[in-house]
Chain A
Amino acid sequence: MFFGGQSNVSTKPPKADSININIKVFHGDKVDDVVHKHSTSLHGVPRSNRIGFNDAPIQSRSDIFLTVAKAINITSIMKLYSSSGPSYVNVSAEIRLNDEPDHIVERCIFRGSNDGDTRYESYVAPNAGDLWWDEKFKLCIPEDIAPRALLIFKFHLMNAASHSDEASEPEPPVAIAALNLSINGRFIRDGEHRMKIRRLDSGYTLEQQLGPYLVEDTAPPAVFDPVLSVESFLCSTKFTEDGTLHSLLNWKQNIGTLTTDESRFKMKEILRKFTFVSEIEILKVTHFVAFLKIVPSGSV
């Protein structure tokens, strides 16, 4: 029995009946105006924002939503703990810099609209050798950090034997997975991302093993590889996941001055592809459009 079968706490079974709530619905195209109009009810009420834009954004926003979906084929990793496997698996996520992996970006992870932290943590019971979470959290990272942001997941195995009544140091992670949030400065595409899960050697630190992971485990995972599946959704007026739009917004850094035939050809290619960029994707970063005015007329 877990925890030696003895505990000084009550063993009465848990009971839960219901949650009682009151709901009011308000209408208006601008939430600020609605709050102002109904200030008696809505002043100071924390907002839980919609995920995504319902229309062209009128406010600056830079949220990255990540859903930890599942981890599959992890039986071999879980059996590291014991022959019976762990009771629970803890997965924690944090943002580091891919060029400085020992740097952790603080207070950039939000499990809820009213909750900010340095780490996301979750606990899940194994289900037939796989782990299923379907839990969502939000990242808010500054513009200068976003191109170097590295999302690291650490796996801890837990069961009764690892926790006594006395407080103890948390056990080291047994496996990691990592995801670069940007590729060549462009944000990763919305949708599912599958990462290999790498077993950690207890003789080395996580930072020492992270480098080889980022180099060696970049290929798509094979069928039987342990895989962590994460879904991303970018909701930002600062970053874009569209390669063409990113190239256009950063043409000066990428192409330089339009003095050579090669640079002018590159710019023409970007503008040709730009016609296929979706309108809503452009509208998200409309405040950048003024930037295009600096392109000299007649130079392209």
Chain B
Amino acid sequence: MAIQANVATTTPGLGSPMPLISPTSPGKQFFPGEVPIRAHYPLSHLLINMRAFVGSICNSAHEGVELMFGLYARHEHHFISEFYIVELNHNGVPAGPRPEDMVGRIHTLFTDLTSRDVADEIYLVCRIFKTGEAKDVLRPDASSSASTHKDQSRASVLFDMARPGSGGSRLHKSTSSIIRPKGSRVSQIFQRSTSPDGQPPSPGLKTAHSVGSFGTVKATAIKGPSYRRAFGCAVLDLSKVLQETRASSGPEAGTEHIIPIFVPSQEGDFHQLHESIIESKTNKLYVLRWSI
């Protein structure tokens, strides 16, 4: 027998009799005269909008990809936010009956970052998993391979091609120590789409680089239970983003980022992969690159 437990995680309208003010509230006094007034820095809230997953890690139509986005505090050595989960099918487009409805809507708002968080080092971590049937997902050779094959087809889908034309959009490369090949296809996409004149990308560019198609996605039934296997990780240093936007007046058009994906050489090391990337301990890691 099961018990239903539908509980809202955050329920507004507590109805407290008076405003709650604590000694930790910047610029406010809990005990007047006892706590000095400090400079008031409002909380920061981070809107993450996923544009594209560039890669093809699935071997069959029964597999999928799961991405888990979370904020990680380096000095505290733990995640400071809940995870936001994105599920993609084997083509790299959002899983579900109507993936076209998800265009431009793979996003989440990470809330309540304090001035201390902004001052410290905060990273956006994306853990990547393969999902699907056991015979596909748990196969020993189904996860990672460092070799580069030129005949490898590419599944790259841009979820939202509409680029802001305000001129405020900027391209930020990841701060990872890994040197990425110049002129890679991914870089070209963003360099051209975020041209200085702020023009949106041409339809030809959109077609050329979008291999996956929402219109051709077919729901694939998984016969048995679905399994999840660790694949890789992507990390982005948010310190610069947070500190720069604090100085600016508003969110403007946001900033574009390309985050490389790393895969552990030993699958058992996956749990600490994000820390290894942050610490630039990349000798045991590798990034899978496309042949140019």
Q: Which of A73-81, A198-206, A280-288 contacts B (4 or more CB under 8 A)?
A: A280-288
Minimum CB distance partner of B51 in chain A = A20
* Structural contact, B223 and A167, CB atoms closer than 8 A: yes
The reply to whether B109 and A47 contact each other, CB–CB distance below 8 Å, is yes
- Checking A61, A112, A133, A158 against B84 with a beta-carbon cut-off of 8 angstroms, the contacting residue is A112
Contact B53–A107 (Cβ < 8 Å): no
B residues 209-241 in Cβ contact with A at 8 Å: 223-225, 227-232, 234, 236, 238, 241
Residues of A within 8 A of B12 (CB): 32, 59-60
Q: Compute how far the CA of A140 lies from the CA of B128 in the bound complex, rounded to whole angstroms.
A: 25
Residue-by-residue, is B2-33 near A (CB-CB < 8 Å gives 1, otherwise 0)? 11111111111111110111111100001000
In the complex, which residues of chain A have a beta carbon less than 8 angstroms from the beta carbon of B184?
17
A157 CB to closest chain B CB (Å) equals 12
Q: Are B257 and A15 in contact (CB under 8 A)?
A: no
Is residue B255 contacting chain A, with contact meaning CB distance below 8 A? yes
Q: Is A292 an interface residue (CB 8 A)?
A: no
Bound Cα distance from A250 to B228, whole angstroms: 43
CA distance A61 to B245 in the complex (A): 29
**Contacting residues, chain A, for B111 (C-beta < 8 A):** 31, 47-50
**Contact bitstring A32-44, B, C-beta under 8 A = 1, else 0:** 1011001001100
**Which of B4, B20, B107, B246 makes the CB contact (< 8 A) with A27?**
B246
* Docked complex Cα distance between A162 and B227 (Å): 13
Q: What A residues does B136 contact at CB under 8 A?
A: 7, 9
A122 proximity list for chain B (CB < 8 A):
228
A57-B268 contact given A16-B263, A31-B112, A115-B85, CB 8 Å threshold: no
The answer to whether A50 touches B81 (Cβ under 8 A) is yes
A291 interface contact, C-beta 8 A? no
Q: Which of A10, A118, A126, A141 is close to B59, meaning CB atoms less than 8 Å apart?
A: A10
State whether the Cβ of B190 lies closer than 8 Å to any Cβ in chain A: yes
Per the bound structure, the CA–CA distance linking A164 and B133 in Å amounts to 10
- Give a binary string over B258-284; 1 marks a CB under 8 Å from any A CB, 0 the rest: 111101001111111000000000000
Please state if A2 and B140 are interface contacts (CB–CB under 8 Å): yes
Are A59 and B14 CB-contacts (below 8 A) given A20-B190, A48-B82, A132-B272?
yes
A110: Cβ under 8 A from any B Cβ: yes
Known pairs A48-B108, A163-B134; A23 contacts B241 (CB<8 A)? yes
Q: In the complex the two chains form, what is the Cα distance from A220 to B139 in whole Å? A: 38
Find chain A residues with CB under 8 A from B158 CB. Answer: 20
Chain A positions 102-159 with a Cβ under 8 Å from a chain B Cβ:
102-108, 110-115, 118, 121-128, 132-136, 138, 140-142, 145, 158-159
Which residues of B sit under 8 angstroms from A7, Cβ to Cβ?
135-136, 139
> Does A276 make an interface contact (CB < 8 A)?
no
From residue B16, how far is it (CB to closest CB) to chain A in Å? 6
CA distance A100 to B113 in the complex (A): 41
- Would A22 and B255 be within 8 Å (CB), given that A16-B261, A163-B134, A287-B16 are in contact? yes
Residues of chain B within 8 A (CB-CB) of A123 are: 138, 227-230
Distance A32 CA – B8 CA, assembled complex (angstroms): 16
Which of B4, B11, B271 is in CB contact (< 8 Å) with A133?
B271
Is A262 engaged at the interface, CB distance under 8 Å to the other chain? no
Q: Which residues of A contact B238 (CB under 8 A)?
A: 23
A49 CA to B107 CA, complexed, in Å: 14
Give the chain B neighbours of A56 by CB distance below 8 A. Answer: 20-22, 24-25
Known: A23-B47, A23-B254. A15 touches B259 (CB 8 A): no
Cβ–Cβ contact A21 & B51, under 8 A: yes
Query: B167 within 8 Å of A by Cβ?
Result: no
Report whether B138 and A163 are in contact in the complex, using a CB–CB cutoff of 8 Å.
yes
A14 at the interface (CB under 8 A from B): yes
Residues from chain B with Cβ under 8 Å of A263 in the complex: none
Known: A13-B149, A103-B3. A25 touches B134 (CB 8 A): no
Q: Verify A114–B84 contact, CB threshold 8 A.
A: yes
Tell me whether B256 and A26 are in contact (CB under 8 A).
Answer: no
User: Cβ of B79 and Cβ of A51 under 8 Å apart?
Assistant: yes
Contact status B5-A15, CB under 8 Å: no
Complexed CA–CA distance, A110 and B68 (Å): 12
Is A138 touching B223 in the complex (CB atoms < 8 A)?
A: no
Q: Are A17 and B261 in contact (CB under 8 A)?
A: yes
Question: Would you call A82 an interface residue if the criterion is a C-beta within 8 Å of the partner chain's C-beta atoms?
Answer: no
Judging by beta carbons under 8 Å apart, are A114 and B108 in contact?
yes
Q: Which residues of B contact A241 (CB under 8 A)?
A: none
Q: Known pairs A24-B251, A50-B80, A280-B22; list 4 more (Cβ under 8 Å).
A: A29-B42, A46-B108, A106-B2, A140-B5
Sort A-B residue pairs by CB-CB distance and give the 3 closest, nearest first: A127-B268, A167-B224, A16-B55
- Listed A/B pairs (23) with beta-carbon separation below 8 Å: A1-B140, A7-B139, A14-B58, A14-B145, A16-B128, A17-B55, A19-B234, A23-B241, A24-B251, A25-B241, A42-B109, A45-B107, A49-B111, A50-B82, A61-B10, A63-B9, A108-B5, A118-B2, A134-B271, A135-B271, A138-B82, A141-B5, A279-B30
